[in-house]
């Protein structure tokens, strides 16, 4: 029987496993299996040919027990409600595990931004906010950039929101340009947080990162910054990296500058000279010490998990490892560090931006990194401690299961305190 790859069903299955492990109250479990609110909107956009095109948009608030919703907005041709629901669930657990005062949310629009010019993207961004203005805000639900969105799109969205509200409200969106209330260190906070988790995991696995070989699937913002930070700060060697079209492999190590030049010149990393071409599937099975899935979900499944050769899998993408694969990697002794721990640096950075905007006082880049390190390292240590506690009870649980037990427990306690069950 084929493994279930629907992202929302996967998120529910992960929750169910944690609920059983921790003996979660059945009422809380039932409430947490579905989002609080899912909104579907129709966004009319005037295109360059003068015709109006309708785009379908989504915004899901999964749980607000611990605070206002928090989560990005994706512009993607394959966006779906189930994907957004799953991502909003994972955002709920991510914020809870980091112990920051947010619930989980996510948004998206079905579109192909690569085929749209700047004016069309601006019209779509403003239309998204107009359609959802009743459901977002600094104390309700705070959007941020995600796949194929960026600080410029957040700037347009913020401007539209402030026009509707008739007041300045920089705390309503995060991931903005620094010039209008964005935070120093926010743009690379996802990858930076992931590198802090890698540092701590390497200590446990007794892996010298200066001698480590790293393979990265994905050359978006997360993958690019992971490459740059891993080589500059950790002294590691990136031997393989890919984009949506394919990748390159060189056991001697790849050059970031040449990769960027090849991507800009040819539109693909395969334009990089002096390296072997590999597919995205082949990259996952390369001989390396650290594998960083930084692209899309469901990349490591029960079909290929037994062929992964890395000592550490660092999930920088959302949902790159399925539940069946997670257990296979664990039984093989591979440290698969879960997405909502590894990539929580992004939402922690957004939390810092939101807090700075609320108080009108801004921190330096170094101050942001220091605070990020403290929070994500504490989350890592709590996960390892929870695993150890379950071992004393005779249960071997994965890092993901431990993270779920912590995160779900905190949300359930907040719901209980509010009298929701």
Mean pLDDT of 182-198: 93
- Domain that includes residue 163, residue range: 33-169
State residue 3's pLDDT score.
63
Cα(342)–Cα(191) distance, rounded to whole angstroms? Answer: 8
Please say which residue of 169, 201, 225 terminates a domain.
169
Is position 5 within any domain? no
Three-point CA angle 57, 63, 68, nearest 5°? 80
Cα(99)–Cα(319) distance, rounded to whole angstroms? Answer: 20
Known active-site residue 106: yes
Indicate if 280 and 149 belong to the same structural domain.
Answer: no
Indicate if 149 and 193 belong to the same structural domain.
Answer: no
Please say which residue of 269, 303, 337 terminates a domain.
337
With pLDDT > 90 as the criterion, what percentage of the chain qualifies? 87
| Mean pLDDT score of the chain | 94
CATH value at residue 128? 3.40.50.10860
pLDDT band at 273 (very low <50, low <70, confident <90, very high): confident
User: φ and ψ at 43, to 5 degrees?
Assistant: -110, 110
Which residues touch 236 (CB under 8 Å, ≥6 apart)?
209, 210, 212, 213, 214, 230, 290
Pick from 62-66, 122-126, 219-223: least confident: 219-223
Mean pLDDT of 372-387: 97
CATH value at residue 278? 3.40.50.720
Domains in the chain, number:
2
Indicate if 280 and 230 belong to the same structural domain.
Answer: yes
Indicate if 43 and 164 belong to the same structural domain.
Answer: yes
Cα(181)–Cα(171) distance, rounded to whole angstroms? Answer: 8
What pLDDT digit, counting tens, does each position of 124-150 carry?
A: 999 999 999 999 999 999 999 998 999
Is position 374 within any domain? no
Catalytic residue among 85, 106, 176, 213: 106
Is position 271 within any domain? yes
- Given a cut of 50, whether residue 1 has pLDDT beyond it is no
DSSP 3-state helix, strand, coil percentages of the chain (rounded to 5)?
A: 50, 20, 30
Indicate if 226 and 147 belong to the same structural domain.
Answer: no
Indicate if 119 and 210 belong to the same structural domain.
Answer: no
Pick from 102-106, 196-200, 222-226, 353-357: least confident: 222-226
- Cβ atoms of 259 and 270 within 8 Å: the answer is no
What is the pTM (predicted TM-score) of this model? 0.92
Mean pLDDT of 29-42: 98
Closest CA to 318 of 135, 89, 54, 115: 89
Indicate if 118 and 212 belong to the same structural domain.
Answer: no
């Amino acid at each position: 029987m084929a493994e279930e790859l629907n992202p929302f069903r996967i998120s529910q299955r992960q929750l169910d496993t944690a609920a059983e492990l921790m003996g979660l109250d059945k009422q809380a479990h039932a409430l947490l299996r579905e989002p609080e609110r899912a909104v579907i909107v129709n966004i009319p956009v005037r295109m360059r040919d003068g015709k109006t095109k309708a785009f379908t948009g989504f915004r899901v608030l999964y749980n607000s027990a611990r605070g206002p919703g928090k989560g990005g907005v994706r512009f993607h041709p394959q966006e779906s409600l189930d994907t957004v629901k799953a991502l909003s669930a994972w955002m709920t657990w991510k914020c809870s595990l980091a112990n920051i005062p947010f619930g989980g949310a996510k948004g998206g629009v079905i579109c192909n931004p690569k085929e749209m010019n700047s004016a069309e993207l601006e019209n779509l961004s403003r239309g998204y906010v107009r359609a959802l203005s009743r459901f977002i805000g600094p104390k309700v639900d705070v959007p941020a950039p995600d796949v194929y969105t960026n600080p410029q799109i957040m700037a347009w969205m913020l401007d539209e929101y402030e026009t509707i509200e008739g007041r300045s409200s920089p705390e309503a969106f995060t991931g903005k340009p620094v010039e209008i209330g964005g935070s120093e260190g926010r743009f690379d906070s996802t990858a930076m947080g992931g590198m802090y988790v890698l540092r701590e995991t390497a200590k446990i696995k007794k892996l010298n990162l200066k001698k480590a070989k790293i393979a990265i699937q994905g050359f978006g913002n997360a993958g690019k910054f992971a490459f740059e930070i891993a080589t500059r700060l950790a002294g590691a060697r990136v031997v393989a990296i890919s984009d949506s079209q394919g990748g390159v492999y060189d056991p001697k190590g790849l050059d970031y500058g040449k990769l960027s030049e090849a991507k800009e010149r040819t539109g693909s990393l395969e334009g990089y000279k002096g390296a072997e071409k590999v597919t995205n599937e082949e990259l996952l099975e390369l001989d390396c010490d650290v594998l960083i899935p930084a692209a899309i979900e469901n990349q490591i499944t029960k079909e290929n998990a037994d062929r992964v050769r890395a000592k550490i899998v660092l999930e920088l993408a959302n949902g790159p490892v399925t539940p069946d694969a997670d257990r296979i990697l664990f039984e093989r002794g591979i440290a698969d560090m879960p997405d909502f721990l590894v990539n929580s640096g992004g939402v922690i950075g957004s939390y810092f931006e939101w807090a700075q905007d609320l108080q009108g006082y801004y921190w330096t880049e170094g101050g942001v990194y220091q605070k990020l390190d403290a929070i994500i390292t504490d989350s890592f240590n709590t996960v390892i401690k929870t695993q150890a506690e379950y071992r004393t009870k005779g249960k071997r649980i994965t890092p993901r299961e431990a993270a779920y037990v912590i995160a779900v427990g905190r949300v359930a306690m907040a719901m209980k305190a509010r009298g929701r069950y």
